[in-house]
Amino acid sequence: MSDQEIKTEEAAPAEEAPQAEEKAVDEVKTEEAVEEEVKEEESEDEVEYECPEEFNTREEMCKMFVGGLDKTTTDEEFKELFAEHGEIKDFIIIRKENSKSDRLFGFITFAQCDDLERCLLKRPHNYKSKELDVKRAVPKSSGNDEQGHYKVKKLHVANLPPDFKVKTLRRYLKARHSEEFGKIEDINFLTKEEGGKTVNKGFGFINVSTEDFADRIAIGENKFTLDNNALRISKAKPRSQGGFRGGRGGGNFNNYGNYGGGYNQNQYNQYDGGFGYGGGYGYGGYGGYGGAYGGYGGYAYQGGRGGGNSRYKPY
């Protein structure tokens, strides 16, 4: 072998060295990127929860349904039954004239929305040797009366901008909805390729740990603004109803029938509607109200802050 060939072989490793160094640098960058992602996830976990004051002023965030009450239950007994769970702002037992049923139902409104959540976590609640049917009072959804009553853990988020980040939404929700009441398991935005980059299609899904937590977020975040973007969250349609897909939800909330914005919280006899408990809950059997609690049709009731006779109008 000539001296020239020997020199060429000796030089080969030196030519490969820059490539090896570049590969090593790339691996370091990859490790740094992973570490950065982990740090970002950890920072998300450090979001401090504080119940938004607006939640405590929104009736639909603080109202609880109670079914299975003995017909001899008095208004004060009803109130005292849940007084240990927090300050009660309002309470009412719905009573139908000449009813042959031995069961009644009513509503409790807490002063603090988180007291409602903690009360739900302490189920079952029993009274006079019977377990009560206790759950959040879920308002009807405008445009789809059944949507508010879907029993799901999947939520639909709409109106996402093309470059909106999952972590932004996650931090927002964790700051407003405590992990004491449930967890956000994952958030997925549907994406597409556009102009050589990946962008959001405009909607996505949120999976949470419990149906109660899904109710809380769907009601509390039906319409909200985040980073100057008007977003919407609603319950995703279950597969039994034709596949998971979210409706627009929200909309015209008037009185108890649709529940929300125009709600007169001072006088029950001002309501032109009823809670309209149809769809997934199937509350038939209480006081002969049919397949659901909606459509009281002029039934008399007593209760709430000392009671008094009044009547529901049909809706």
Domains, the chain: 53-136 (3.30.70.330), 148-235 (3.30.70.330)
**Residue 211: partners with Cβ closer than 8 Å, 6 or more residues away:** 151, 152, 153
pLDDT of residue 59: 96
240 or 105, which is more confident: 105
Q: Residues for the chain: how many in total?
A: 315
Q: Which of 25-34, 144-153, 296-305 has the highest mean pLDDT?
A: 144-153
Per-residue confidence (pLDDT) for residue 299, from 0 to 100: 33
So what's the pLDDT on residue 305?
46
First to last CA, the chain: 102
For CA atoms 256, 260, 262, 266, the dihedral sign is: positive
Q: What's the alpha-carbon Rg for the chain, to the nearest Å? A: 28
User: CB of 274 within 8 A of CB of 295?
Assistant: yes
- Cis bond leading into 139, ω under 30°? no
Highest mean pLDDT among 93-97, 202-206, 278-282: 202-206
Query: Which tops the pLDDT comparison, 115 or 150?
Result: 115
The Cα-based distances of 154 to 9, 42, 212, 238 in angstroms read 64, 24, 11, 8
Q: Beta-carbon neighbour count of residue 290 at 10 Å?
A: 14
- Give the DSSP H/E element, type plus range, for residue 257: helix 255-258
Residue predicted with more confidence, 270 or 139: 139
Residue 25: its pLDDT value, please?
52
* % of the chain exceeding 70 in pLDDT: 60
Q: How confident is the model at residue 99 (pLDDT cuts 50, 70, 90)?
A: confident
Q: What's the pLDDT score for residue 46?
A: 79
Work out the pLDDT band at 167, boundaries 50, 70, 90: very high
Residue 274's pLDDT is what?
A: 39
User: Has this prediction a pTM greater than 0.85?
Assistant: no
pLDDT band at 187 (very low <50, low <70, confident <90, very high): very high
Q: What's residue 140's pLDDT?
A: 72
Contacts of 46 (CB under 8 A, 6+ apart): none
What span, in angstroms and rounded, lies between the C-alpha atoms of 244 and 237? 4
Collapsed DSSP state (helix, strand, coil) of residue 17? helix
The pLDDT value given to residue 248 = 38
Across the chain, mean pLDDT equals 75
As given in the structure block, the two tokens for residue 46 are 């450090």
Give 190's contacts (C-beta < 8 A, 6+ positions apart). 200, 201, 202, 203, 204
Q: What is the mean pLDDT of residues 145-163?
A: 90
| Number of C-beta neighbours around residue 98 at 10 A | 7
Q: Evaluate if residue 182 carries a pLDDT over 50.
A: yes
- For residue 126, is pLDDT > 50? yes
pLDDT above 70 for 93: yes
Overall average pLDDT of the 72-92 stretch: 97
Question: In this predicted structure, what is the pLDDT of residue 78?
Answer: 98
